[in-house]
Chains A and B, each alone.
Chain A
Amino acid sequence: MTATPEATEATPTIVLVGHGMVGQRFLEALAERGLTATHRVVVLCEEPRPAYDRVALTSYFSGKTPEDLSMTDMEFIETHGIELYVGDPAIAVDREARKVTARSGEVFDYDVLVLATGSYPFVPPVPGKDAEGCFVYRTIEDLLAIEEYAKNATTGAVVGGGLLGLEAAGALKGLGLTSHIVEFAPRLMPVQVDDGGGAALLRTIEEMGLSVHTGVGTQEIVVGEDGAVTGMKLSDGSELAADLVVFSAGVRPRDQLARDCGLTVGERGGITVDEQCRTVADPHVFAIGECALASDGRVYGLVAPGYEQAETAAATIASDEASFTGADLSTKLKLLGVDVASFGDAHGTAEDCLDVVYSDSRAGLYKKLVIGRDGTLLGGILVGDAEAYGTLKAFTGSVPPVAPESLVLPAGAGESVQLGPSALPDDAIICSCHNVSKGAIRGAVTDHQCTTVPEVKKCTKAGTGCGSCVKVLGQLVNAELEASGVEVDKGLCGCFAQTREELYEIVRALRITTYQDLLDRHGREGARGGDGCEVCKPAVGSIIASLAPTIGASGYVLDGEQAALQDTNDHFLANLQKNGSYSVVPRIPGGEIAPEKLIVIGEIARDFGLYTKITGGQRIDMFGARVEQLPVIWARLVDAGFESGHAYGKSLRTVKSCVGQTWCRYGVQDSVRMAIDLELRYRGLRSPHKLKSAVSGCQRECAEAQSKDFGVIATANGWNLYVGGNGGATPRHADLLAQDLSDAELVRLIDRFLMFYIRTADRLERTSTWLDRIPGGLDHVRDVVVHDSLGICDELEKLMQAHVAHYRDEWAETINDPEKLSRFVSFVNAPDTPDPVVAFVPERDQMKPDLPLLSIGMRPADVLEGSAQR
Chain B
Amino acid sequence: MTLALETTDLKIELALADDWFTVCELSTLLPGRGVAALLPDGRQAAVFRDRSGDLFAIDNRDPFTGAAVLSRGLTGTHQGRPFVASPLLKQRFDLASGQCLDDEAVRVTAYKVRTS
Contact = CB atoms under 8 A, between A and B. Distances in A.
A277 to B, nearest CB: 59
Contact of A534 (B63, B69, B92, B108): B92
Nearest to B23: A829
Contacts of B35: 828
Interface in B82-111: 82, 85, 87-90, 92, 98, 102-103, 105-109
A583 to B, nearest CB: 14
Interface residues of B, number: 50
A494 interface: yes
Nearest to A826: B36
Interface in A545-591: 561, 563-565, 567-569, 571-572, 576, 578-580
B103 A534 contact: no
B108 A862 contact: yes
Contacts of B105: 866, 868
A518 B35 CA distance: 26
Contact of A859 (B43, B80, B89, B92): B43
Nearest to B51: A531
B91 to A, nearest CB: 8
A561 B30 CA distance: 8
A855 B65 CA distance: 8
B42 A534 contact: no
Contacts of B77: 495, 527, 530-533
A833 B68 CA distance: 14
Contacts of B78: 494, 533
A251 interface: no
Given A828-B23, A828-B37, A829-B23, A857 B66 contact: yes
A458 B72 contact: no
Nearest to A455: B102
B113 to A, nearest CB: 13
Contacts of A454: 102
Contacts of A494: 78
Interface in A422-474: 454, 457-458, 464, 467
**A494, A516, A868: residue with the most chain B Cβ atoms closer than 10 Å:** A868
A369 B108 CA distance: 54
Interface centre among B30, B47, B68 (most CB of A within 10 A): B68
Given A532-B77, A837-B67, A516 B51 contact: yes
Contact of B76 (A531, A837, A862): A531
Interface in A832-867: 833, 835-837, 853-855, 857-859, 861-862, 865-867
B20 to A, nearest CB: 13
A692 to B, nearest CB: 23
A409 to B, nearest CB: 31
Interface residues of A, number: 54
Contacts of A829: 22-24, 37-38
Interface string B38-55: 100011100100110000
A578 B87 contact: no
A857 B43 CA distance: 10
A537 interface: yes
Contact of B33 (A564, A822, A861, A866): A564
A830 interface: yes
B63 A576 contact: no
B106 A867 contact: yes
B68 A531 contact: no
B102 A576 contact: no
A572 B109 contact: no
A567 to B, nearest CB: 6
A865 B105 CA distance: 10
B95 to A, nearest CB: 10
Given A534-B74, A571-B33, A865 B107 contact: yes
Contacts of B87: 567-569, 576
Nearest to B98: A865
Interface in B1-57: 22-24, 28, 30-33, 35-38, 42-44, 47, 50-51
A467 B86 CA distance: 14
A580 B69 contact: yes
Contact of A538 (B23, B24, B74, B82): B74
B33 A862 contact: no
A508 to B, nearest CB: 24
B24 A837 contact: no
Nearest to B84: A534
Contact of B67 (A467, A567, A580): A580
A563 B22 CA distance: 25
A666 interface: no
A102 to B, nearest CB: 72
B19 to A, nearest CB: 15
B74 A567 contact: yes
A533 B67 contact: no
A495 B77 CA distance: 9
A855 B74 contact: no
Contact of A572 (B36, B63, B72): B72
A827 interface: yes
Nearest to A457: B102
Chain A CB within 10 Å — which of B35, B51, B66 has the most? B66
A862 B36 contact: no
B68 A828 contact: no
A830 B38 contact: yes
A151 interface: no
Contact of B59 (A495, A822, A862): A862
B85 to A, nearest CB: 4
A870 interface: yes
A564 B31 contact: yes
A527 B80 CA distance: 8
A535 to B, nearest CB: 8
A467 B75 CA distance: 20
Contacts of B61: 837, 857-858, 862
Contacts of B106: 866-868, 870
A576 B72 contact: yes
Contacts of A458: 102-103
Interface of B: 22-24, 28, 30-33, 35-38, 42-44, 47, 50-51, 59, 61, 63-69, 72-78, 80, 82, 85, 87-90, 92, 98, 102-103, 105-109
**Top-7 shortest CB links A-B:** A854-B66, A564-B32, A533-B76, A530-B77, A534-B85, A568-B87, A580-B67
12 contacts: A464-B89, A464-B102, A529-B51, A534-B90, A567-B74, A567-B87, A568-B73, A572-B72, A580-B67, A828-B28, A828-B47, A829-B23
Interface of A: 454, 457-458, 464, 467, 494-495, 516, 526-527, 529-534, 537-538, 561, 563-565, 567-569, 571-572, 576, 578-580, 822, 826-830, 833, 835-837, 853-855, 857-859, 861-862, 865-868, 870
Given A572-B72, A580-B69, A837-B67, 16 more contacts: A494-B78, A530-B77, A533-B77, A561-B32, A564-B32, A568-B72, A579-B67, A828-B23, A828-B24, A829-B24, A833-B38, A862-B59, A862-B108, A862-B109, A867-B63, A870-B63
